[in-house]
Amino acid sequence: MAGLIDQIEPLKSAGLADLQNAADLAALEQAKGNWIGPHGRFTALMKQLGSLPKEEKPAAGKAINAAKAELETVLARRRSELELKAAMPSEPADFTLPGRRRVLGRLHPLTQVTEDIVRSFRKIGFAVADGPEVEDEYHCFDALNTPADHPARDTQDTFYLQNDPKSEIRGPKSLLLRTHTSSVQIRVMKKQPPPVRIIVPGRVYRRDNADATHNPTFQQVEGLYVDKGVTAADLKGTVEFVFKELMGSDVKIRFRPHYFSYTEPSFEIDFTSSLVRKMGKEWLEIAGCGMVHPQVFENVGYDPEVWTGWAFGFGIERIAMIRYGITDIRLFYENDLRFLKQF
């Protein structure tokens, strides 16, 4: 027994030194295996207990277990020290410096205005519809009572695209970038019977030269309501409600006679409010509208003797410019964070 017990203390001292001197977690695991692992030296000592006389085993086992417990205590303490060291930055840090804040994104001002418009229309029962930006001439012009020789096409000159050979659409000018979201009116009315109550926000394209009030790409929202007995009074009431929601309760609306090929009668919508007066104007043109032309109803298979409806559309940029006091439409598309962070 004396020989076995005499080995415990020197082995314990060597094991403690080995664990304490481990430089990293990998070295610590290696030291643990050498001393108290399944094949460690103290495990080997335990295996030698079987060769001792019966009366000597309890004292020897107690001494070995006490030494292992001391080694495990040092092992746990050293592991905590090394884990903390590994978690610390590799270079010294000044913890008195201001912390780093995660930068949060925000919605583009045009998206904010679009969501406000959609929210206003949803309050009065309108659904949101969508359609392709790459359109064909039929949905963009022909079905809207604007054939190829119609002078109204000159004011909506757009970007024509080369036909895909696999497409069912044929003709040198069949595919184009839509000039208005009114094309979605046709698609919706061809798919469903009346009544229809939709708004169509989306991007449109025209061959405009970019300046403070024009851009080749801009956002538009279209409204369409078709049912029995719909009148221009319904149109005016809806327009007034929406613009008061968007621009304030002091908004006043007026209609002026105008011409659009797909509505009859047609109107330009002017409005006035405190925001308009701040711009030095009394009235400001904001949208176009009218009662849906009977020919459009016939083109989509609606009986114009039974159904009536109205449609109106306006540019979302115009609303945003008035709301936020912006004088140049190009600012919305320059992606300048100094501008965008203001909203």
Q: What is the 3-state secondary structure (H, E, C) of the chain?
A: CHHHHHHHHHHHHHHHHHHHCCCCHHHHHHHHHHHCCCCCHHHHHHHHHHHCCCCCHHHHHHHHHHHHHHHHHHHHHHHHHHHHHHHCCCCCCCCCCCCCCCCCCCCCHHHHHHHHHHHHHHHCCCEECCCCCEEEHHHHCHHHCCCCCCHHHHHHCCCEECCCCCCCCCCCCCEEECCCCHHHHHHHHHHCCCCEEEEEEEEEECCCCCCCCCCCEEEEEEEEEEECCCCHHHHHHHHHHHHHHHHCCCCEEEEEEEEECCEEEEEEEEEECHHHHHCCCCCEEEEEEEEECHHHHHHHCCCCCCCEEEEEEEEHHHHHHHHHCCCCHHHHHCCCHHHHCCC
- Residues 318 and 93: their CA atoms lie apart, in Å, by 50
Q: Is the pLDDT of residue 296 over 90?
A: yes
pLDDT-derived band at 34 (thresholds 50, 70, 90) equals confident
Of 296, 204, 280, 284, the closest CA to residue 251 belongs to 284
Q: CB–CB of 175/135 below 8 Å?
A: yes
- Residues 104 and 320: their CA atoms lie apart, in Å, by 22
Q: Is the pLDDT of residue 117 over 90?
A: yes
- Partners of 162 in beta bridges: none
Q: Is the pLDDT of residue 167 over 70?
A: no
Two tokens, residue 49 = 């207990």
Two tokens, residue 265 = 């009668």
pLDDT-derived band at 309 (thresholds 50, 70, 90) equals very high
- Residues 225 and 324: their CA atoms lie apart, in Å, by 30
Q: Is the pLDDT of residue 50 over 70?
A: no
pLDDT-derived band at 168 (thresholds 50, 70, 90) equals low
Length of the chain: 343
* Mean pLDDT to the nearest integer, 276-300: 90
Q: Dihedral of CA 207/211/217/218: which sign? A: negative
pLDDT-derived band at 21 (thresholds 50, 70, 90) equals confident
Q: Which range, 20-29, 39-48, 217-226, has the best average confidence (pLDDT)?
A: 217-226
- Residues 278 and 268: their CA atoms lie apart, in Å, by 22
pLDDT tens per residue across span 244-262: 998 888 889 999 999 988 8
pTM score: 0.66
pLDDT-derived band at 1 (thresholds 50, 70, 90) equals very low
- Estimate to the nearest angstrom the gap between the alpha carbon of 73 and the chain centroid: 53
Which comes out higher in pLDDT, residue 23 or 202?
Answer: 202
Q: Is the pLDDT of residue 166 over 70?
A: no
Of 120, 129, 84, the closest CA to residue 240 belongs to 120
Q: Which range, 8-12, 16-20, 59-63, 121-125, has the best average confidence (pLDDT)?
A: 121-125
pLDDT of residue 145: 86
pLDDT-derived band at 84 (thresholds 50, 70, 90) equals confident
- Residues 27 and 224: their CA atoms lie apart, in Å, by 75
pLDDT of residue 187: 95
- Residues 153 and 141: their CA atoms lie apart, in Å, by 8
**Averaged pLDDT score across all residues of the chain:** 85
Which comes out higher in pLDDT, residue 89 or 284?
Answer: 284
Q: Is the pLDDT of residue 156 over 70?
A: no
pLDDT of residue 235: 93
Fold classification of 109-340 (topology level): BirA Bifunctional Protein; domain 2 (3.30.930)
pLDDT of residue 64: 77
pLDDT tens per residue across span 127-155: 999 999 999 888 998 899 888 777 767 66
For the chain, domain boundaries = 2-87, 109-340
* Mean pLDDT to the nearest integer, 309-314: 93
